[in-house]
Structure 1
């Protein structure tokens, strides 16, 4: 069985919205402003993570975002991203924009994919999808790369849920000089 891993760049107050500043959000662009001298260390971490992945799962908007920024790039991270099998979860999309991608229509198909995959199923972006997967108890791990800024407002990775999701800290490490990577594993209730 595969392990669904949500990997996200977040501000200290949990904002994930518009890190590159291209969506027009008034507080966007925080990634470039606060990655500072840590860009190389960030890129190394992202590359290592992507090389470990077997599959990617994305929402429709994330498929569009990556499809316009990744093809044609030759660094190891981009080559791996372009080469990975990808599944775009959307009830409206007919054909994904990114290479090596197929559309899946619902969470049940993601659950089947998890059963059929060995290794990590990586999710970048796709926050609406992530929230749905949390509600369906399909996420196994969160990797949050915390940037040294309080953005103050904007879309956050976590919103209201119908129940608590217990987590266990697996690892925390500094990336470069100012970024913090925290990895939490979802704690599953013991079966009786």
Structure 2
């Protein structure tokens, strides 16, 4: 049985904003990710590679699938080669022909399709970005772990990682580490109610 992990790593501002970290979407407060250069991003890249090598597959929403595909398909190197070659599952009702290697479209009802995928695969099924998909999976108790890289910037506005939650979800801190000079890497597991 697979484990669904929200990561990739999942980049958030100190106040929980995940919207437009690289500035490509045109959000007025976007572009906060590249402000942290040098050692911070070099160490971040090491974590991204470790996660990609450990992942059984990626699970993405349509927008994240297109974003990451545009970013990684033309690249090469250890991280790009791993991402391009690993199995990728994209949740979409409109994508007909996926154009990224080893991609499969999940067309049915999201929760049941992902629950079935979780039963079929072993290892980590990583959900990079795709925070809207992640919220749906969290509400359905399908996410096992969340890995956050917290950037020391407060934006004050923007789409947040958890958004409006329906009910309380308890988590347990599994690991906390510092990346570079100022990024926090936090790993949480969901505590399933019995």
Shared fold (TM-score greater than 0.5)? yes
Partner of 2:171 in structure 1?
Answer: 167
Partner of 2:61 in structure 1?
Answer: 59
Which one of 96, 102, 111 corresponds to residue 115 of structure 2?
111
Q: State the alpha-carbon separation in 1 of the partners of residues 36 and 154 from structure 2.
A: 11
Partner of 1:92 in structure 2?
Answer: 94
Contact persistence 1:34–1:149 (CA under 8 A): no
Partner of 2:133 in structure 1?
Answer: 129
Stretches of structure 2 lacking an aligned partner (at least 5 in a row)? none
Shifted more, 71-80 versus 44-53: the winner is 71-80
CA-atom RMSD, angstroms?
A: 1.1
Task: Give TM-score, length-normalised by structure 2.
Answer: 0.94
**Aligned residue pairs, count:** 190
Q: State the alpha-carbon separation in 2 of the partners of residues 62 and 41 from structure 1.
A: 23
Q: SS at the partner of 1:108?
A: helix
Please state how far the C-alpha of 1:35 moved relative to its aligned partner. 4.2
Q: State the alpha-carbon separation in 2 of the partners of residues 184 and 87 from structure 1.
A: 23
Partner of 1:5 in structure 2?
Answer: 5
Q: State the alpha-carbon separation in 2 of the partners of residues 40 and 34 from structure 1.
A: 10
- Alignment of 1:141 with 2:145, yes or no, is yes
Task: Give TM-score, length-normalised by structure 1.
Answer: 0.95
Stretches of structure 1 lacking an aligned partner (at least 5 in a row)? none
Contact persistence 1:88–1:102 (CA under 8 A): yes
Which one of 65, 69, 80 corresponds to residue 82 of structure 2?
80
Contact persistence 1:64–1:98 (CA under 8 A): no
Partner of 1:14 in structure 2?
Answer: 16
Please state how far the C-alpha of 1:41 moved relative to its aligned partner. 0.4
Q: SS at the partner of 1:10?
A: strand
Q: SS at the partner of 2:149?
A: strand
